[in-house]
Structure 1
Amino acid sequence: MKDKVVVCAYHNVGYRCLEELIRQGADVRLVFSHEDSANEEIWFDSVRELAARHGIPCVTGSINAAENRERVAALAPDFLLSFYYRNMIEPEVLALARRGALNLHGSYLPKYRGRVPINWAVINGEKQTGATLHYMVEKPDAGEIVDQEAVEIAFEDTAFDVFKKVTEAAVTVLRRTWPQLVAGTAPRIPMDLKAGNYCGGRRPEDGRIDWHLGAERIYNLVRGVTHPYPGAFTTLSGRRVFIWQALPVEGAAEPGRVVSTEPLRVGTGAGLLEIQRLQVEGEAELSAEAFVEKTPCLGELLA
């Protein structure tokens, strides 16, 4: 008899990992996912639609709700698997999985435990991240590691570029470890939390640019929150302006001061930021050249 599996999944990692379990013939009895938020750009695949195509019941309410906890208990699953599920799963629910509850996290743990690990890795200028399958315990992203796959972060990569790499790494990890989990031969490597770090979630307001930082740090923020994320922004003449694409270049100028328009370059705390694509809030996104043509007040200080 196959092991019974309950899956908590959302986003592309959730979709691809559920797809991989189905491909391997796992007995997925129930899926928990989320309703899409009206305030979020939905650019990723639907876990609910994938489950429906395969006749798997899918619930969008929290797995921690009493009625859902009872439903899981009645199934008596062997495994509970979480793939980019956004709710912390309570210990009482984790304990319902006879052979273990595991999570696929989007970093090379123990680095970047917590929320939005890919965005944080890019914002902090990391050269590498990865995907990690680990057992879930009460403390977030702290249980024993089963397997990991590293990915490189190129200097020009956006968070979206890295997310695609991490998604493939996640599928790779699950593809090679699921047979081991079923066979009872998968490793359980204690996680050294002191060797890592924990990051909280990010709000759109956290994308505000501090021009006193160095150009490379600002560049990392821009590429860490550019499309499809909320974006890095500054203000010009009292209006919010999003910077979607830029590059750090050599030079020196007062932080926030536009020093040239062809190309469009702005002073920072160290170096210059060459802006390539930007958008005044509520208007269309433009190339820097088109923006300069229609904006007469570029002599003002960006803030």
Structure 2
Amino acid sequence: MNIIFMGTPDFAVPSLQLLLEEGYNVTTVVTQPDRPKGRKRVLTPPPVKVEAEKHGIPVLQPERLRHADSVDVLRELKPDLIVTAAYGQILPKSVLELPQYGCINIHASLLPKYRGGAPIHHAVLRGESVTGVTIMYMAEGLDTGDMISSVELPIADTDTTGTLFYKLSIAGADLLKRTLPDLLAGRIQAVPQNEADAVYSPNIRRDDELMNWSRSSVELWNQIRGLNPFPGAYTLWNGEVMKVWASANPKTSVEPRSRSLSEMSGNAPVPGTVLNSNEQGIEVMTGEGTLWLTNIQPSGKKAMPVSEFIRGVKIETGTVFGR
């Protein structure tokens, strides 16, 4: 059996490794082109390409899979099955029709919730307590195909998008291991998705990164961990961007303030107002409750714990973030 594997980021690597460990014949890997990364814009291969080359597997990196020449190359490879995981491009009908066993996708959510390019980010951003992985047959729509199998995974308060990426990548590979034998033996009864329950998770935009202090402390806490380790939530301090990488859980934080709100001014502080700054963090007023920032990155600096930051810089009580 000839299997083509399509994937790009670290999330897809365990699934590729699983196929190879289980002895499946992965004849070709398709991934995104090398992209410039970092401040020096060094041309960097995708993690899946790096893994494929370790095993001597031929790698294709078409800029657009929809182009006729790309489809022709895949057709010549005569795949029996195409497995995708976070590839980053929608497969055209001409590709979906190539393999006799179809094209299956390992998607990092419990479909039909969080279709689209950023399912892990959005699950954390929206404060979900459970997520998971779904393996589905691919269709022409965006993550609309019939569901083959799924597995649930709890989201802990300590989780960030980064930790969930790792957990779900391992869960996806394990689910693939358990699913493929039944699929290849014709024992699968795929289930259509309920369109009424569909929720989309588009790629993160710059607007999604800006912290709106009028939101509740819990919503902002979810935003911070949902954008960690990339691209990061941010606020404005002295007119410059300040990334916020971590904060205390407002559902459990009981750290007392050094000064009461009434002592600071005659009126209640506006959202974004700094109420306290000490070794434990920076306490900021929100639209509902307060939030203790514990790890920040001022413009032009490295990320650091607040306890380290305040040794050299003092943020005065009454300072308003976001202006």
Structure 2: distance between partners of 1:282 and 1:261: 21
Shift of 1:265: 0.1
- The corresponding residue for 1:5 is 3
- The corresponding residue for 1:258 is 274
Alpha-carbon deviations, 1:8-61, whole Å to 9, x = none? Answer: 111123211111111222122211012343246999982112222322210111
Distance 1:102 1:40, change over 3 A: farther
Distance 1:20 1:45, change over 3 A: farther
Structure 2: distance between partners of 1:206 and 1:56: 38
Q: Helix, strand or coil: the match of 2:14?
A: helix
- The corresponding residue for 1:293 is 311
- The corresponding residue for 1:302 is 321
Does 182-191 or 264-273 show the bigger shift? 182-191
Give the number of aligned pairs.
300
- State how 1:161-240 maps to structure 2 within 5 Å: 161-227=163-229, 229-240=230-241
Identity of aligned residues (%): 28
Distance 1:204 1:38, change over 3 A: farther
Shift of 1:258: 0.2
Quick check: 1:46 aligned with 2:47?
yes
Give unmatched runs, 5+ long, in structure 1: none
- State how 1:1-303 maps to structure 2 within 5 Å: 3-39=1-37, 46-61=47-62, 62-227=64-229, 229-247=230-248, 248=250, 249=253, 253-262=269-278, 263=280, 264-298=282-316, 299-303=318-322
Work out whether residues 148 and 188 of structure 2, in 8 Å CA contact, stay in contact via their aligned partners in 1.
yes
Alpha-carbon deviations, 1:189-225, whole Å to 9, x = none? Answer: 1111212311211124421000000000000000011
Shift of 1:184: 1.5
- The corresponding residue for 2:264 is none
RMSD of equivalent CA atoms: 2.1
Give unmatched runs, 5+ long, in structure 2: 262-268
TM-score by length of 2: 0.87
Structure 1: distance between partners of 2:26 and 2:84: 12
Shift of 1:292: 2.6
Work out whether residues 29 and 56 of structure 1, in 8 Å CA contact, stay in contact via their aligned partners in 2.
yes
Point out the structure with max Rg over C-alpha. Answer: 2
Work out whether residues 115 and 200 of structure 1, in 8 Å CA contact, stay in contact via their aligned partners in 2.
yes
Structure 2: distance between partners of 1:242 and 1:81: 37
Structure 2 counterpart of 1:12, one-letter code: D
Structure 2: distance between partners of 1:48 and 1:78: 21
Alpha-carbon deviations, 1:206-258, whole Å to 9, x = none? Answer: 2100000000000000001122x021110011111111110224687430000
Structure 1: distance between partners of 2:85 and 2:45: 14
Structure 1 counterpart of 2:284, one-letter code: V
Structure 2 counterpart of 1:185, one-letter code: R
List structure 1 segments (4+ residues) > 6 angstroms apart after TM superposition: 40-45
Q: Helix, strand or coil: the match of 2:18?
A: helix
